[in-house]
Amino acid sequence: MSPAPNYEFQEWWNKQRDHNHQFFTNDLLSLQITNPLPLPLPDPAADKDRSRSARQLSWLCLLRFQQLANCLASFANASLLLLRTANRRIFSTDSSSDSSASRLYRVIKFFLFLVILLLCFELVAFFKGWHFSPPSVAEAEAAVELVYAKWLEIRADYLAPPLQSLANVCIVLFLVQSVDRVVLILGCFWIKFRKLKPTAAMEYPAGRVEGENVEDYPMVLVQIPMCNEREVYQQSIAAVCIMDWPKERMLVQVLDDSDDVNVQLLIKAEVQKWQHRGVHILYRHRLIRTGYKAGNLKSAMNCDYVKNYEFVAIFDADFQPAPDFLKKTIPHFQGNDDIALVQTRWAFVNKDENLLTRLQNINLSFHFEVEQQVNGVFINFFGFNGTAGVWRIEALEDCGGWLERTTVEDMDIAVRAHLSGWKFVYLNDVKCLCELPESYEAYKKQQHRWHSGPMQLFRLCFFDILRSKVSMGKKANLIFLFFLLRKLILPFYSFTLFCIILPLTMFLPEAQLPAWVVCYVPGIMSVFNILPAPRSFPFIVPYLLFENTMSVTKFNAMISGLFRFGSSYEWIVTKKSGRSSEADLIAYEKESDTFMEATSLLRSSSDSGLEELSKLEATKKSLKTKRNRLYRKELALAFILLTASVRSLLSAQGIHFYFLLFQGELIDGHCVPGWEFHEIQSHGSMVDQTMGFGDQRREAPKPAPEDVKLCAVFCLCCVMLIANKLRPEAGQHRRRFFICQELLKRNINGAGKDAAPFVFVLDWNGH
């Protein structure tokens, strides 16, 4: 016969439901109670068979203790090994003279210690229930409760107001910079709609025309500055030497600042090879290597034969201009004596190599498609990109030539030429192939130089801008837009707002950042930035977070340049991998064959001497095992953001939690450079006896799996944001959870073994 139903639990349940009726308006819980089946009686014989002796139990306990000790020892060894590996691979790019970087790291480290301490304090308060009923100083009983009450008063009266004021200032700067981006986008749309672009007064015929007068072609000097460019020197020299321009009207200068004797010999041999083929090309090497690239170009322009040339084209060592480059750029100078510079667009041969190159492609595509084009069409001024451009030599001499006072000599000479009244032309449809940095270390050093140099230049030329004879509009554009807004304010508010203020508002909830500042406006700006590279749309979320995390490097560089710290004058050549030489060398070979037939030049027999140098090149290209490194500033910042995300989870702040979590994990991803996929080594071989090109075959890169992953992350973020809008209020959600937990606890602990089994059916209402 079955036992009688348990009416006691049913009555207790009805009382609790009536008492907490306001928390169950949405039918959060429904309870189904059924009568249990009769329980079988225990079998004494079976219990006797299952009994164990005391000796067996003691051996079993010893075995369990041994397994537990082995697990603890393994965990301790693994933790120790992880700490040793991390300590060994912690990489600091801070030189001995880089005091700003060390100061910034100490500040970030102190900030990390502070937020971890605050998180522990908030965890204690959360489990004590003080988040829902904050204690007061008068009613506090325990010492910890009194300390927490004092902390609430201090943060509300003294800490939150200045933090909120700083947040408001950064929000205003953020909005101003966003308006500037929108204006640039509208200007670009207007250019596309009206089909505005520079037009040349004349055109040169493609290819070589019989009977043409070479005097119609102006004298052009082509300069290739390089320094220890072992991986890319061949294709850059070859691309310049096969350009479609009369050879007697062009001179190529290879300006080698290499301190490696073997690289010097290789470059010198390459120059001699093209000299034997009839190309006017010279090799220059400075004994006193001062001034970096600016000093190299200045030394080359001091040669006596430079006065015979009218224009100078500059290409960095990893740039490969098309054969018709000069025929598309030089005509824009004809009939326009006030044009000083014709700048062309960069095209990237390795933009799909890994996630880092994809994100760089988004930034640089916006820079060339929007910023450079809009400034070139409407105000005839923009920053010279340092390469892939043609200068009028008269303009260079008029504004004082190359100066060695900053690490951004290209921007320096562009500003001085603009103040002297010269105009610039930007050609968006003329592209020059180049290579993007594929490692985070190389990219970080490049960005440090690009963001510290403008602050050096602004400090040096500020009074020159005020004293110049240009219009007030041009002065305002240079000071407020070109320097302050885009070079100083952008890294300042990006680092301060998203890496400092946002984590602090999690621990000081009295100061708040609106959701549109954290999510919506940055998302819209990211969409605008990706418009020039629409194929990169799946990377919009990593791009948004990556730009905020890179603000650490940019902010540090900006401070270094503004206050003249030692690292601001440090020039480190961006490491090249030479990936652009695979398909291009074949094309260069075909072009060179055509060039040889057209000019009726015989190949020199002295090329056989290159065999010794090719052997030297093959032996020097040894395969080095690259190890991942941990970048300490980025790693510390990642822990700060992840700690803040844990704190935001306690407060159920959805958008803030997702932003901090993804941003912290993204920093973790690039401070351990595992995202630099396809690091394929170069294998040198014998130089071809007829063409002299090295066999630089590489295995084809495997399809990058992060494309699918990033699309999934993007969709997940959208789903989370939509779900966040559908969720009920955070406090009501927490109360419902604690009621469910309490009901389960009471029923399980107090019902006894005779209680009826039950089933909870939860209706979460969309979350």
Q: Is 593 a catalytic residue?
A: no
What's the rounded Cα separation, in Å, for the pair 371 and 383?
10
> Burial code of 437-473, b = ≥16 C-beta within 10 A, e = fewer?
bbbbbbbbbbbbbbbbbbbbbbeebeeebeebeeeee
The predicted pLDDT at position 103 comes to: 77
Residue 157 is classified by DSSP as: I
Top-confidence residue, 572 or 507: 507
Q: Give backbone dihedrals phi and psi of 25, rounded to 5 degrees, phi first.
A: -70, -25
Catalytic residue among 256, 316, 318, 410: 410
Top-confidence residue, 384 or 705: 384
Quick: pLDDT tens for 732-745.
443 443 444 444 44
Measured N-to-C along each axis, helices 654-671 and 706-726 cross at an angle, to the nearest 10 degrees, of 160
What's the rounded Cα separation, in Å, for the pair 526 and 505?
24
- Strand-strand pairing, 758-762 and 220-226: unpaired
Top-confidence residue, 561 or 8: 561
Residue 155 has pLDDT above 60, yes or no: yes
What's the rounded Cα separation, in Å, for the pair 729 and 543?
31
Structure tokens at 528: 């605008």
Residues 158-161: contacts with CB under 8 Å, at least 24 apart? 159/508, 159/511, 160/508, 160/510, 160/511, 161/511
Structure tokens at 527: 């969409």
Catalytic residue among 257, 318, 412, 607: 257
Mean pLDDT calculated for residue range 452-463: 92
Of 443, 450, 499, 539, which Cα lies nearest the Cα of 634?
A: 499
Mean pLDDT calculated for residue range 606-621: 46
Quick: pLDDT tens for 475-491.
999 999 999 999 999 99
The predicted pLDDT at position 697 comes to: 35
Query: Rounded to 5, what percent of the chain is helix, strand, coil?
Result: 60, 10, 30
Mean pLDDT value across the chain:
76
Q: Which of 35-44, 259-268, 291-300, 416-425 has the lowest mean pLDDT?
A: 35-44
Q: Which of 226-230, 426-430, 567-571 has the lowest mean pLDDT?
A: 567-571
Task: Return the percentage of the chain with pLDDT > 90, whole number.
Answer: 37
Residue 153 has pLDDT above 70, yes or no: yes
The predicted pLDDT at position 464 comes to: 93
Torsion of CA 454, 342, 471, 364, to 10 degrees: -40
91, β-bridge pairs: 631
Over its C-alpha atoms, the chain yields an Rg (Å, rounded) of 34
Quick: pLDDT tens for 396-416.
999 999 998 888 999 999 999
Measured N-to-C along each axis, helices 706-726 and 540-549 cross at an angle, to the nearest 10 degrees, of 90
Q: Give backbone dihedrals phi and psi of 309, rounded to 5 degrees, phi first.
A: -110, 150
Top-confidence residue, 5 or 445: 445
Mean pLDDT calculated for residue range 30-57: 55
The predicted pLDDT at position 613 comes to: 47
Q: Which of 116-130, 212-226, 619-633 has the lowest mean pLDDT?
A: 619-633
Torsion of CA 490, 493, 498, 504, to 10 degrees: 170
Q: Which of 257-266, 271-280, 598-607, 717-726 has the lowest mean pLDDT?
A: 598-607
Q: Is 244 a catalytic residue?
A: no
- pTM comes to 0.73
* Residue 418: burial class (beta carbons within 10 Å; 0-12, 13-18, 19+): buried
